[in-house]
Chains A and B, each alone.
Chain A
Amino acid sequence: QVTLKESGPGILQPSQTLSLTCTFSGFSLSTYGMGVGWIRQPSGKGLEWLANIWWDDDKYYNPSLKNRLTISKDTSNNQAFLKITNVDTADTATYYCAVTTRVSFDYWGQGVMVTVSS
């Protein structure tokens, strides 16, 4: 059974760095073809893909966030991470991690709400 759970700071101030952790079970990020992605959703709005990391450490980022994103993984502890630098109120959203093996996100975590406020 695949499960994922996101964790984060809850609230942070503008210009700070947001650090998110995805802890998963039921699969390994060292297995060929496995990947984890991060997606966010402002309240009442649509979904925005942020980044993917693959079993071979290949990484892809959404260029709309310029160079603010860093994705990484710890395969021995079944975790993936996302950092977003220099946050502002537009980064307020629910952040999801999800497992991917192909073009889709097969299983999603429950999401973690992040609020950026001064």
Chain B
Amino acid sequence: DIQMTQSPASLSASLGETVTIQCRASEDIYSGLAWYQQKPGKSPQLLIYGASSLQDGVPSRFSGSGSGTQYSLKISSMQTEDEGVYFCQQGLKYPLTFGSGTKLEIK
């Protein structure tokens, strides 16, 4: 199975701050990576697919980058509504696997 390692496990950011979350795959996943946001009591929502493509309706302050085994999600200007848990997921090989999540809070 491809293991997905996310970091950090949690972080707090000030309004307007740039935030970066990392995700490392145990082998090359050829940009087959997605990012999700989950707010308390809600289902996950797709933010980024194919490592860097923005899902329709997602604010442009979210961006994804990376290749090979290393990927990152950037929020260019932290907003209150960005609080939540963020997960990465590889879609290259079955079984599909998720990172353990990063909890993002407002400082």
**8 A Cβ contacts from B93-107 to A:** 94-101
Chain A residue contacts of B91, Cβ below 8 A: 102-104
What total of chain A residues lie within 8 Å of the partner, measured CB to CB?
22
CB proximity of B71 to chain A, nearest CB, Å: 12
Q: Which residue of A lies closest to B100 (CB)?
A: A46
The answer to the question of B34 belonging to the interface, with a C-beta cut-off of 8 Å to chain A, is yes
In the complex where A103-B34, A103-B49 touch, is A49 in contact with B96 (Cβ < 8 A)?
yes
CB proximity of A112 to chain B, nearest CB, Å: 11
**8 A Cβ contacts from B10-63 to A:** 32-34, 36, 42-46, 49-50, 55
CB proximity of A91 to chain B, nearest CB, Å: 17
Main secondary structure of the interface of B (DSSP, over half): loop
What total of chain B residues lie within 8 Å of the partner, measured CB to CB?
25
The answer to the question of A56 belonging to the interface, with a C-beta cut-off of 8 Å to chain B, is no
CB proximity of B15 to chain A, nearest CB, Å: 27
CB proximity of A34 to chain B, nearest CB, Å: 15
Q: Which residue of A lies closest to B94 (CB)?
A: A60
In the complex where A60-B94, A104-B49 touch, is A46 in contact with B87 (Cβ < 8 A)?
yes
Cα A63 to Cα B94 in complex, Å, equals: 9
The answer to the question of B89 belonging to the interface, with a C-beta cut-off of 8 Å to chain A, is yes
Contact of B33 among A49, A61, A103, A111 (CB under 8 A): A103
Chain B residue contacts of A62, Cβ below 8 A: 95-96
Q: Which residue of A lies closest to B48 (CB)?
A: A104
Q: Contact between B46 and A105 (Cβ–Cβ < 8 Å)?
A: yes
The answer to the question of A24 belonging to the interface, with a C-beta cut-off of 8 Å to chain B, is no
Q: Contact between B87 and A47 (Cβ–Cβ < 8 Å)?
A: yes
Q: Contact between B50 and A103 (Cβ–Cβ < 8 Å)?
A: yes
Hey, which bits of chain A sit against chain B, CB under 8 A?
37, 46-49, 52, 60-64, 96, 102-111
Hey, which bits of chain B sit against chain A, CB under 8 A?
32-34, 36, 42-46, 49-50, 55, 87, 89-92, 94-101
